[in-house]
Structure 1
Amino acid sequence: MDNSSIIASSGNVTDKSLICYTPAMTTTNGLWEGDNPLEYSLPLFILQLTLVVLSTRFFVFILKPFNQPRVIGEIMGGLLLGPSVLGRNEEFASKVFPLKSVMVIETMASMGLIYFLFLVGLEMDISVVKRTGKKAVSIAIAGMILPFILGIFFSFFLDEHHLHMSRASLVLYIGVALSVTAFPVLARILAELKIINTELGKLALSTALINDMCAWILLALAIALSEKNSVNTWASVWVVLTSGVFATFCFVVVRPGISWMIRKTPEGQPFSEFQICFVLTGVMISAFITDVIGTHSVFGAFIYGLVIPNGPLGATIIEKLEDFVSGLLLPLFFALSGLKTDISLVKGANRWFGALMVVPLACIGKIIGTLLISMLFQIPTREGVILGLLMNTKGLVEMIVLNVGREQKVLGDEIFSIMVVVTLVMTALISPIVTLIYKPRKRLIPYKKRTMQNSRLDAELRVLVCVHVPRNVPTIINLLEATHPSKKSPICAYVLHLVELTGRASAMLIVHASRKSDRPALNKTQAQTDHIINAFQNFEEQIGYVSVQPLTAVSPYSTMHEDICNLAEEKRVSIIIIPFHKQQTVDGEMQETNPAFRMVNHNLVQNSPCSVGILVDRGLNGLNRLTGSLASHEVTVLYFGGPDDREALSYGWRMSRHPRVHLTVMHFIPGIDAKTVTLAKEVDDEREMGINYRNGSVKENRINEEYINEFKIMSENDESVEYIEKVVNNGEETVSAIRSMNNVNDLFIVGRGQGSTSSATLTEGLTDWSECPELGAIGDLLASSDFETSASVLVMHQYIGEGPEGEEVYVSDKPWHSNENHPSVRHMSMATRYAPMPMPMANHLF
């Protein structure tokens, strides 16, 4: 039995090696019988697979902070195990990766590649090609021409004396490898850059899709030209023709047949096991046919995936198959590419210089070709350059081209190793460079209504509502209904379902959910999305002057706030409402649901382009206490002063315009014995800028007094508003005053208290035991399990703009300064205000 190894021998040596296989030696009888597990195919394959997965996962993990695609880590894992590193030890190579195991490991890797290419075809929308028009087609072709020409010259540099194939075959393989774009890797980069749904992102995806189509056609042609021992010169022609017949048969016969099967499946029922197995068997049949006619088996799997219609069948197959194929079998293929790569074969400075020089030349060639066509279509130069960089993304298709070329003996081991290094370097450079230079262009002019304080009662109110799970929906719906949508001030609610990006390729392209979908839910996430959309659509239909636009954002929790901020600015909303990261349990305790939700909230408050309200959900169903003249919702605003409290009072004022909302404003005033507390920020400002912090306090107090005094005048004759002043001297007296309001409220609205000296004075000591400082002292108190309240809490953070010199610019508008309400207060009869009202919205909508 030959003891040579996969990783120690070239393709030519393998041909001359005599390998003896023992069919009975599949499973061992055990160590106690004296058997060596590495002499048996199954335990040896398990060990190889384990080493491949561990090594590739290791590199994927350490390269993730550098924005590197997974394919880089998988190839580097193979390089680690191959002759470039560990494989240089002959004992390791001959025992762990002996040449006799090549058939098993390459067969499994090929099966993984076949099914992965099927999934890639399944996820591609061929209708995009029809919709792209001349722009994407022209950019795709132009971006391939210059790198392909470079490949022609590079093939002469790589000329090997033992090359038995035609020059045309070598040119095609090298040209395709340098000019192609990796569609799956590009989609991942676009998703991480948050541009997958921009015009640039859509154009990049469409261009990459067409590029991949051209690459597959050229690869099929290269395989046909590299056929050996042909009976006649027409063999290559027959390969091309039969491949075309196969593709035509798939689109004309197979696609309608699968569409018929989908239509015959009862609506709302999952596909049967027989149907799934029938489709998956078709993958192997297609791969077998294309391998028999002379094209590579992956070509058949890819075409078969393309012809399956988009919809529930494709999504179901992806759901069942993708994790196993992408996570376990596909790394074998990339690792094998590393195992076959021997960097030591690349000898001489000239060889290394030529290999490294082709990287910038190929990148520049693709950028120039893309930029020239982009300018013809009046695409900005900066975006044209970025698009050219994105088109340089390499990955799966390049490695397939190189491996097929090696199998066809067109690429020798040295050329193969050089091209693997070139692919690694190009792929590793593109993602960090694009991440570094890409700066999204601001397409919208600045808008003014970024807060509730400057949102008037005679203009539309735009709200962005974020939802993690369906449990958040009932309270949010009741809150929106109580925010008083009216004919003069309708509410436009953008409902954003936040979904974590788990690393699945199929999830990257799902950003906006379609409305009124009659298809059954394919998974738990889609079922939640459908549930949320249906609830808000019912709310829109039953409540007048409310428009709802549901969306779904799929992104990692670490960057989810960027999606929220971008959407808020694009839609010009005045406030973002997002759930608190804790939920109330049956026994009244506040339990943390997901720590990542807290990170999202924190990042959102720090970066939001408008005001933010964090909703602590304990339910908002006040109609069960509707007796006599009681209002349906008792809302209390705790006012200490400062921009956040002014924002809270503005929201409470708008809610008080609702005929079924009663507002209580408790104004806390420092007593004679209250100690003055200096904010750390003001001390820093004093030290750094030489400004006395007392001047800031005086200015802030003047703004607060002017705001609250005008509110008192406005609400003096308004029976829907009750104004209470509480004189307190410390945090303990403040807590006692708040507890006195506890049993009569459905909702507390408070400010975070950032930047307010009066709030810091009256809450001194409360922050010493703070669990959630992002809510501020009062918000943290009300959200705590120790407070024992059944009222929900809305913690407000007001957006503060910057002046031309970086100074803070506070909002001076007041929400009651509308054409209808200024200077007099709206008068409403008691009969109108307390007329009978229907059941609460969330009770029958959700």
Structure 2
Amino acid sequence: MDHTSSLNATSLILPKPSLEADSKFICGSPEFDSLRGIFSGYNPLDSIFPTFILQLLAGIVVSRVIYLVLRPFRQSKILCSVLGGILLGPSVMGLNMKFREALFPPIEMGLLSTFSTLGVMYTLFIVSVKTDYKTLVSRAGRITWVIGFAGTFFPWITLMCLFYSYHDYLPPSLQLKFIPFFVAIILSFTFFAVVALALDELNLLTTELGQLSLSSSLISDLLQWFFVITVASFKQGNTTQAVAAFASTFIIVLICIYGIRPAFLSIIKKTPQGQAVDEFYVVLILLGASVMGFVTDFVGSSIVYGPIILGFIIPSGPPLGSILVEKAECFVMEILLPLFFIRIGYELDVSSLRNWKTSVVLMCIIFVGYFAKFLGVFVSSLSFKLRPRTAFLLGLIMNNKGIVELVIYYRWKKYGILDEETFAVMTLSSLAITTFIAPLTEKLYKPQVRLAPNNRRRCMLTIQTTPCTSQFHVITCVHNEENVNSIISLLEASNPTEISPICVYVIHLEELSGNAAPLLAPYIAKKKKIFMRTNSPISDHIFTAFENYSGNSHGPVIVRPFTMIAPYKSMHENICKIAQEKLTPLIIVPYHENQRHIYGNRVTSLIRAFNTNLQTYAPCTVGILVDRGTRQMNTCSFAYNVAVIFIGGEDDREALAYAERMSGHADVSLTILRVSLRIKKQDELDDTNKGKNKGKSKEAEKEKEEEEAMEMEMLMDDALYDEFKVKNISNACVVCREVVAESNAQVMDAIQSLEANYDLVMVGRSRYQVMELNDIEMPSSRSKNNEPLGLIGDALVSSEFYQGWLSLLVLHRCRGPS
């Protein structure tokens, strides 16, 4: 070994740091002197692997700290990662040459380059797996096609005019003949993956704005796919090589679609229902992403296109797509991808902006292009009668920049298409536009306001106001097959008749995993086309059970099945939208604790938050169904025993109104427990405060108003209860019991006096009258844990009542966020 190799005794033969392999190599000795340790006077940073570990740790820690600082300002994780790379690079900390030589020695950058390339490959693979192109394209209407084309061609034409008009003022790399053409095209595209990641961080995936943005960006994405494949092919040396590269890429695509995709469908078919795909197939497919990168690079295309093509043909969602995303996403997005941003920061040198005149001109042209895209989207949106604010926000979202743009800029710099100055300007412009888009979108678009009950339509119904001679609409949310039996039994007890049939919208809820875009679509029993999304076996069984019930129910029941795949944090928005459109008076959702043994603690907490959001924002009554083993319904000999605890308040009146509907069913037995509360009047209390100053007059007026409101509530309670008794005075299946309570203890005693053989107990959630009886704490009250059930519901699901085996329906009429 000569003296030169001693500069780095542990260097390996590595490719030049680049996303693309070339013919230049760095040579070194394969010896591992780091085994001697620091106590032998050895510096670990003289070796490749310790240096790489330090680069990885520095990149992750710095970007995470920046993310924690900027997260309150709604800045994206990708933006913070790039800023972390810039901070570590030559623009900031790298100005110190000792720091740069220690953390980024040129001779040891090969390993960082290799792993950053893997990070980009697998990131784009995961995004492709999560993207259900077929569904998005099929849902794209004329508006999305127009917005997609206008948002692409209008800025491209604008940028082309500006580039050639100010040709002499541009950096040298943009003065070449065809370079401005390609730069203008890339700046004009909107990439689906970038928009999906941005919307997910803003929690807007399931909103109308989010759905329109995804579909429109997909149209632009399809255009860029045609562009990049063509350019990748014709970058070859001559026409023959270009045609060979294009033909090879086309053949690879055909093999993937008609050879490999059917194999993936076969894997899904062989996977038992409810079980994960065999780990052998998961590992094989993940390795296949690297193989596909090698193949596309081998035929003259880009190394990143192979994983994208493979991800495209994998059926998104469970069981295959979701398990691939679950296994790979965390490691790729949190470990490998930050290495790419470190690389970006290392390559971006702000000091390269020496000619400020050309840099400012280029920056201005780029921002004019962004504004042209905004105008194209804004004007085309207004032409379809979208609200100006929605059109404005859509124009902002379509200007989002992210990982795909950075990959393109980086590769162009490595190819020599962009010089240092142009690369720095384009990268900084992308960061600048992204910096203010997210907080501005967050500020201007608040979908929760749209769902607030004070903004709902005046004709929204409740159970009480639903005419007994009209169709009764119900939305039922189902997580798994265990929820089906109790919901079907409840629907049958709801007394479907010829004059008042039941129309039930059955929505199978699935967490967004293995999909980039949320999905709410009517269920179709069989899909056999090769590009169609495969139905979940669980969905098949759930909807088959409801269809069988519809055909065998005692009365007319219409079933409208839907599949919803969305994040739990925003899933309630689409439910509320359906309730508004269908004028639905009742939404039934399973209790979150019933799902714990299936999904575990994480998903259970998400379902609990989903239920709470529904109770807050739903434009109708929400029923939380606690299922403790209701017996399986037999349509030939159906019998249902229901108890209603009626204390007072609008939630209890909804429960009594629901019982009124059930009372018409000959096979439903009802027991109404009317608990009248004897609350002390204000004039019966000690009058020691009479001598207080006038400053207390406002409090006294407020107390008086509350007392008058309570008296009005009690009058409505008595009126509804008396009406119920009159209607059912001759109904042998209805029994009414009345008790008077002066304390919480007496309320609990009255409830415990009920027999334990009820199939279901119905209560209201709110109980402000009971809270006035604050002589003792409610038994087993865990209001923070079981807040969706209210005080009485919380107590009833505890083990102190009927050994915890009581099935319960807690009704709550939405009154809006407090």
Q: TM-score, normalised by structure 2?
A: 0.80
Q: Is the 8 A contact 2:116 2:336 kept in 1?
A: yes
1:391-470 correspondence runs (5 A): 391-438=398-445, 446=457, 448=459, 450-470=461-481
Q: Deviations over 1:481-519 (max 9, x none)?
A: 222223332222223344444xx5625334447443689
Q: Secondary structure at the match of 2:109?
A: helix
1:221-370 correspondence runs (5 A): 235=237, 237=239, 240-259=242-261, 261=263, 267-269=269-271, 283-284=289-290, 287-288=293-294, 290-291=296-297, 295-303=301-309, 305-306=311-312, 318=325, 320-347=327-354, 354=361, 357-358=364-365, 360-370=367-377
Distance 1:596 1:445, change over 3 A: closer
Counterpart of 1:582 (choices 593, 597, 612) is: 593
Q: Secondary structure at the match of 1:410?
A: coil
CA distance in 2, matches of 1:114, 1:65: 31
1:302 is displaced (CA, Å) by: 3.4
1:456 is displaced (CA, Å) by: 3.2
CA distance in 1, matches of 2:647, 2:327: 55
Q: Are 1:777 and 2:779 an aligned pair? A: no
CA distance in 2, matches of 1:33, 1:325: 36
1:718 is displaced (CA, Å) by: 1.0
CA distance in 1, matches of 2:684, 2:348: 68
CA distance in 2, matches of 1:446, 1:133: 26
Q: Secondary structure at the match of 1:38?
A: helix
> Match of 2:92, as an amino acid?
V
CA distance in 1, matches of 2:644, 2:279: 58
1:539 is matched with 549
Q: What is the aligned-residue identity percentage?
A: 32
2:147 is matched with 139
1:811 is matched with none
CA distance in 2, matches of 1:518, 1:131: 16
Q: Is the 8 A contact 2:127 2:516 kept in 1?
A: no
2:498 is matched with 487
Q: Tell which deviates more after alignment, 331-340 or 463-472.
A: 463-472
1:180 is matched with 189
> Match of 1:437, as an amino acid?
L
Structure 1: runs of 5 or more not aligned: 13-17, 228-234, 803-807, 809-846
Query: What is the RMSD of the two structures over their aligned residues, measured on CA atoms?
Result: 4.7
CA distance in 2, matches of 1:307, 1:169: 34
CA distance in 1, matches of 2:781, 2:388: 51
CA distance in 2, matches of 1:677, 1:62: 56
CA distance in 2, matches of 1:424, 1:253: 38
> Match of 1:618, as an amino acid?
R
Counterpart of 1:604 (choices 604, 607, 614) is: 614
1:725 is matched with 738
Counterpart of 2:645 (choices 638, 649, 665) is: 638
Q: Is the 8 A contact 2:171 2:359 kept in 1?
A: no
Q: Is the 8 A contact 2:145 2:216 kept in 1?
A: yes
Q: Is the 8 A contact 1:459 1:490 kept in 2?
A: yes
> Match of 1:794, as an amino acid?
L
Counterpart of 2:102 (choices 75, 80, 95) is: 95
Number of aligned pairs?
771
Counterpart of 1:125 (choices 109, 121, 133) is: 133
Q: Deviations over 1:764-802 (max 9, x none)?
A: 534597312553332232223333443222222234599
CA distance in 2, matches of 1:556, 1:199: 15
1:798 is matched with 813
1:546 is displaced (CA, Å) by: 2.4
Q: Are 1:204 and 2:206 an aligned pair? A: no
> Match of 2:443, as an amino acid?
L
CA distance in 1, matches of 2:797, 2:138: 54
1:613 is matched with 623
Q: Is the 8 A contact 2:478 2:508 kept in 1?
A: yes
Structure 2: runs of 5 or more not aligned: 19-23, 686-695
1:121 is displaced (CA, Å) by: 4.3
1:132 is displaced (CA, Å) by: 5.1
Distance 1:561 1:216, change over 3 A: closer
Q: Is the 8 A contact 2:147 2:377 kept in 1?
A: yes
Q: Tell which deviates more after alignment, 235-244 or 73-82.
A: 235-244
Q: Secondary structure at the match of 1:250?
A: helix
CA distance in 1, matches of 2:183, 2:603: 52
Distance 1:642 1:372, change over 3 A: closer
Q: Is the 8 A contact 1:645 1:796 kept in 2?
A: yes
1:663 is displaced (CA, Å) by: 0.8
Q: Secondary structure at the match of 1:297?
A: coil
CA distance in 2, matches of 1:142, 1:134: 12
Distance 1:623 1:677, change over 3 A: farther
Distance 1:585 1:293, change over 3 A: closer
Q: Is the 8 A contact 2:202 2:438 kept in 1?
A: no
1:660-699 correspondence runs (5 A): 660-670=667-677, 692-699=705-712
CA distance in 1, matches of 2:575, 2:316: 28
Q: Is the 8 A contact 2:765 2:790 kept in 1?
A: yes
1:569 is matched with 580
CA distance in 2, matches of 1:761, 1:299: 67
CA distance in 1, matches of 2:707, 2:329: 63
1:291 is displaced (CA, Å) by: 3.8
Q: Is the 8 A contact 2:119 2:337 kept in 1?
A: yes
1:474 is displaced (CA, Å) by: 3.1
Counterpart of 2:90 (choices 83, 92, 95) is: 83
Q: Is the 8 A contact 2:469 2:499 kept in 1?
A: yes
CA distance in 1, matches of 2:170, 2:148: 34
Q: Tell which deviates more after alignment, 104-113 or 643-652.
A: 104-113
Q: Is the 8 A contact 1:515 1:533 kept in 2?
A: no
Q: Tell which deviates more after alignment, 295-304 or 787-796.
A: 295-304
CA distance in 2, matches of 1:25, 1:213: 49
1:836 is matched with none
Q: Is the 8 A contact 2:321 2:514 kept in 1?
A: no
1:29 is matched with 35
Q: TM-score, normalised by structure 1?
A: 0.78
CA distance in 2, matches of 1:463, 1:654: 13
Q: Secondary structure at the match of 2:476?
A: strand
Counterpart of 1:549 (choices 560, 563, 583) is: 560
Counterpart of 2:801 (choices 783, 787, 794) is: 787
1:709 is matched with 722
Q: Secondary structure at the match of 1:516?
A: coil
CA distance in 1, matches of 2:377, 2:340: 31
